[in-house]
Structure 1
């Protein structure tokens, strides 16, 4: 498989002459954060992370994401953290889009380049650093792990999307495929983070309405998405949040593949109490 390209935000600030009209949408059913909103003045910082800034794409709050948070991290050369995760019940996924991240787990150093993926089990000890000469940018998705008596906690692991063959979706002649980092049958996992690829002209051919909450970051290409009766145009660098049961479908516009990093919560009973 050839090395895909992944969008990474350049930061900066638009000129005073730029029009204010953009594609940003925030509704009770879905939200679209276009790449143009990821500017220097909306970055955040975290305790014990050095030479690091981040864009918060999703966080648990009323009327927005309920099950996860998602950061787009930017670590300058020499930056990183010896204490990256402060919540012992949090699991995480890292996905590198630019640069090289040195990830230490169990005294083993893994160098993750673009396409690099790490699952970080709750309670695991890890550190992250940028030993390179250019910034490293990566997604960090966090979720409170839903422990189940009788199910083991899944172990941490590291891989790269280029080492995984995408799984074609049924009855679509291969134009719609999903790169799965965790087997769907492994019920130890309570979230799936995958990469969905649609070739130019491919469609999600019906309005999906299902229980998973979704976070989608467009890695490459462009498409028109159908969200709760609205059509919205999205491109590389945009982030979408979809509430559970929000109708969703899309049409990949080309000229290249349309690809997005997808989060969803899976494999657990529906909570009946707050």
Structure 2
């Protein structure tokens, strides 16, 4: 398993600036080739960090979540990473080592490490290793539901959660679910979806969930609304609610992506 991340740097002057980025009313594609040094952002209260903002709540774009790809130099981090008490977070480490402290308990996350952080949690994170640390960070404001308990924090790893095969697909499509879909405490799922070469979503999914998809490994042709778009490692896709979608995995290695979706709550009117 590999875990793609923005390449940074800057292409030289021989590169044709016409690229594969797409921004429409129904979907957006932010290719890895556009995730360069000059589009990074920084946050107050952090040391030795920079990040690529891949999605943010915006009219005509993502409505329910934000998604960052964060780099921490050795010794970098924050004692107050979250500024919104109503925000929940998921972190997936793609390289290096991350020291995560949740309510006084310390966890060491390496490549593939996954953490869920509910709202109003006291947490810190630091890169105590010698190498650059890289991680994906997905944030959503939690929607409280009457009679439903608040979810609790947990730490696990992609390598420690057994993928679940999707039905009627001959084992070519599975999903690593870090949260039980029937657990109504959770109003977002951040999973890893895997297709073996040639595997596919065999119909154009059209549903209420909004999506953010970051390609971690492999290649595919992805149906977005009416367009088939080739995607590969490091490409990010945003899909508006009800945007038709499907994919066919190409190449010789598994096609894997980190998938965000909002779930388990009434639609605001």
Residue equivalent to 2:246: 249
Of the candidates 258, 261, 264, which is equivalent to residue 264 of structure 1? 261
Structure 1, unmatched stretches of 5+, are none
TM-score (norm 1): 0.97
Matching of residues 90-101 of structure 1 within 5 Å: 90-101=87-98
Distance (whole Å) between structure 2 residues aligned to residue 210 and residue 171 of structure 1: 20
User: 1:46 and 2:54 equivalent?
Assistant: no
- CA separation in 2, counterparts of 1:270 and 1:9? 33
1:239 maps to 2:236: yes
Query: 1:126, 1:81 → 2: CA distance?
Result: 9
CA RMSD of aligned residues (A): 0.6
Aligned runs of 1:162-201 on 2, under 5 Å?
162-201=159-198
The residue matched to 1:204 in structure 2 has which SS? Answer: coil
Q: Distance in 1 between matches of 2:243 and 2:5?
A: 27
- Residue aligned with 1:162, SS: helix
C-alpha separation in 2, matches of 1:106 and 1:120? 10
Given that 1:60 and 1:69 are in contact with CA atoms closer than 8 Å, whether structure 2 keeps it comes out as yes
Query: Within 5 Å, which residues of 2 pair with 1:81-230?
Result: 81-230=78-227
Could you tell me which runs of 5 or more consecutive residues in structure 2 were left unpaired when the two chains were aligned: none
- Deviation >4 Å, runs of 4+: none
Deviations 1:129-175 (A, max 9, x none): 00111111101100000011211100000000111110000100110
1:64 aligned onto 2:61 = yes
Distance (whole Å) between structure 1 residues aligned to residue 49 and residue 245 of structure 2: 34
Q: TM-score of the superposition, structure 2-length normalised?
A: 0.99
SS at match of 2:33: helix
Give 1:9 shift: 2.4
Distance 1:123 1:206 in 2: 39
